[in-house]
Structure 1
Amino acid sequence: MAHWSPSLLLGYIVFWTIMCPCVSFPTGAPASACENMMPVHMGVEPQPSPAPYEFQVDAPSFMNRQPINVQIVGPGYRGLLLEARTFGSTAALGTWQNPANNTKFLQCSGNPKGAITHSNTELKTSLTTYTWLPPNSGCPPVITFMATVAQSREIYWLSVKSKVIWRDSKATCGAKKFTWTVTAVTVMPFHLLLLPGYFY
């Protein structure tokens, strides 16, 4: 029967405690991170300081079938989880187009192209461009781009956000839902007036 000395056992535990989180996800965030966008870095908390990153977006508004280019401006980074969301929701909206070098798609909210994550730990820079396409239907009034950005395993910022991007007035992806809501609110009181005995 093998005998483990206390020092050897301690060394084994320390080695795997340090190594396992480092090598767990060098090829991208897991699907379990889609909602809270929290990296699975055991014992490491997000940076409390303001993120040294900001989004550069090439359009002030969005409409279906019109792609939007997004860049994360700041120091070089190695890890990434990037999504488009609307207020009060963790659903990943729209689809990302051909992933940039050293990145790949991540299925979030049942959407195979709902998020972008790193495919390796090579350095990404402000020149890296991500292209997003709004959904063809069910567009919310506004969206924001959100990201977790990691310079290393120990140094990352959670929920870095872009400015608000409004749905363009010419967009048709949200028109039907909006029209139905207005019609329902407007027409319903009129129908109530026609009910027999309404005035009695």
Structure 2
Amino acid sequence: MASGKVVSLVVSLFVVTRVQSYPSGAPTSVCTTMLPSHPPASPSTSPSIYTVNITANAYKPGQTVSVQIAGNQYKGFLLEARDAGQNIIGSWMSPPSSCKLITCTTGNDAVTHSDNTAKLPSLLYQWKAPSANCPSKVTFYATVVQSEYVFWAMLKSADLQLGR
């Protein structure tokens, strides 16, 4: 009888540790891959119902650019700006409610959800370009979670060019 309880406890602990969704936002441990830990899910292979849109074609050092995840409502996301070498760059400012800033490599360089309530596709995220050493091209990447087991990873925006 006691061994049955031990097996049940071990199985329960295994299930609890295997199901790791992040309703309070993406952890910094996923900044590089941008893959959520929603076992046994993997990114959707169907065409994305989301797009990553930017409000400018070019930027200048220190300029703020608005970024939008367009499409349907979504529950979770991770949004980053990267240079051609895939380095995370710039910083995010003033996230909308139910969103928060996180630090992947340097201060506030990514934005994610802070709860799993539905996010409207009209939300705008404010990215600030570095004030010096700006890359010639910036691309915004987003992983968007529609539900715990349905998500698209590394969706790309159009390139944002450094203006002269």
If the length of structure 2 is used for normalisation, what is the TM-score? Answer: 0.91
CA-to-partner distance for each residue in 1:103-132, whole Å, 9 max, x for gaps? 1011111x1200001100011011111000
Quick check: which has more Rg, 1 or 2?
1
Runs of 5+ unmatched residues, structure 2: none
> What is the aligned partner in structure 2 of residue 95 from structure 1?
91
Runs of 5+ unmatched residues, structure 1: 170-200
8 Å contact from structure 2 (residues 53, 158) kept in 1? no
2:9 equivalent to 1:3? no
Superposed displacement of residue 84, structure 1: 0.2
8 Å contact from structure 1 (residues 21, 40) kept in 2? no
Bigger relative CO (Cα 8 Å, ≥ 6 apart): 2
Give the 3-state SS of the residue equivalent to 1:112 in structure 2.
Answer: coil
2:31 equivalent to 1:34? yes
Give the 3-state SS of the residue equivalent to 2:11 in structure 1.
Answer: helix
One-letter identity of the residue aligned with 1:108: C
One-letter identity of the residue aligned with 2:121: S
Equivalences for residues 20-59 of structure 1 within 5 A? 20=17, 22=19, 24-59=21-56
Give the Cα separation in 2 of the matches to 1:129 and 1:141.
24
Superposed displacement of residue 92, structure 1: 1.4
Superposed displacement of residue 55, structure 1: 2.0
2:135 equivalent to 1:140? yes
Which structure: greater strand fraction?
2
> What is the aligned partner in structure 1 of residue 78 from structure 2?
81
If the length of structure 1 is used for normalisation, what is the TM-score? Answer: 0.75
Distance 1:150 1:21, change over 3 A: farther
> What is the aligned partner in structure 2 of residue 159 from structure 1?
154
Aligned pair count reads: 164
Give the 3-state SS of the residue equivalent to 1:157 in structure 2.
Answer: strand
Sequence identity percentage: 34
Which structure: greater helix fraction?
1
Give the 3-state SS of the residue equivalent to 1:4 in structure 2.
Answer: helix
Give the Cα separation in 1 of the matches to 2:52 and 2:26.
20
Equivalences for residues 62-73 of structure 1 within 5 A? 62-73=59-70
Give the Cα separation in 1 of the matches to 2:38 and 2:12.
15
One-letter identity of the residue aligned with 1:35: T
